[in-house]
Amino acid sequence: MNLSDVLQGPLLQLWDTIIAYLPNVIGAIVVFILGMIIAHVLRTVVEQLIKLMRIDDLAQKLEIRSQFDRMGIRLHIGNLMGWIVKWFFIIVALIAATEILGWLEVTDYLKQVVLFIPNVIVAVIVLLAGILLGNFVQNVVKSAVEAAQLASANFLSGMAKWAILVFSFMAALVQLQIAPDLIRVLFTGLVFMLSLAGGLAFGLGGKDHASQLLTRLKKDISSDH
């Protein structure tokens, strides 16, 4: 038996294995390409729907985009949602392709990624809602404090707004399962700090106003007698 005979058997087995596996490879490639096409089409559809609904214009009016601009982030809700939808379907196509190829470990990992995407969407919604609520509370607190003739209107309204923004950011991180234990500790510390700062602000800002109310009350009581 010469060298060619020794090598011929393994090579023929390898060739048979490749031929047998080739339909799976072709099927996986076709499924993935179709998934990519669907993903790009759906991204365009989502972006156009959000554009027709004028959600980005609404975000501009509600000062949501301006908040992200201050953080150096250019927010475009249409592009963001389109990007999420595109990658969702790309990963789904990858899952289908890896199942065809029999790569079970890769398939299980990609399934975990897909299951995590809703957390990302919820985190984005929480963050956007927090910005909206923060701006609303800032205006309400400022109007209320100015109506009470306190000197800390800008400070208190700003503190209320940023407290909501920080809480929303922490809630988004918890939703993303990023250091949840650390976030809880920071949340507790922040609540204590804001309570102390709010008490001091109300005490210092309302000192003169409270003194005037007490003086007026004293006069009213004295006049009754």
Same domain, 87 and 3: yes
Does residue 208 carry a pLDDT above 60? no
Q: How many domains does the chain have?
A: 2
Instruction: Tell me if 115 sits within 8 A of 92, measured CB to CB.
Output: no
Would you call 225 exposed, middle or buried from its count of C-beta atoms within 10 A (0-12, 13-18, 19+)?
exposed
- Between 21-25, 126-130, 149-153, 209-213, the lowest mean confidence (pLDDT) is in 209-213
Rounded to 5°, the CA angle 178-184-186 comes to: 100
More confident residue, 204 or 61: 61
User: Same domain, yes or no, for 183 and 207?
Assistant: yes
Same domain, 48 and 135: no
Q: What is the CATH number of the domain that holds 25?
A: 1.10.287
> For residue 57, is pLDDT > 90?
no
Strand, coil or helix: 150: coil
Residues 45 and 131 in one domain: no
Rounded Cα–Cα distance for residues 131 and 67 (Å): 7
Note the Cα 213 to chain centre separation in Å.
Answer: 46
* Domain that residue 175 falls in: 115-219
Contact status, residue 139 vs residue 145, Cβ threshold 8 Å: no
Question: Are 44 and 4 in a shared domain?
Answer: yes
Is residue 98 located within the same domain as residue 119?
no
Asked if residue 70 lies in contact with residue 89, where contact means CB atoms within 8 angstroms, the answer is no
| Residue 54 backbone dihedrals phi, psi, to 5 degrees | 55, 40
Residue 108 lies in a domain: no
Mean pLDDT of 16-32: 81
Q: Yes or no: say if 66 and 73 are a contact pair by the CB < 8 Å rule.
A: no
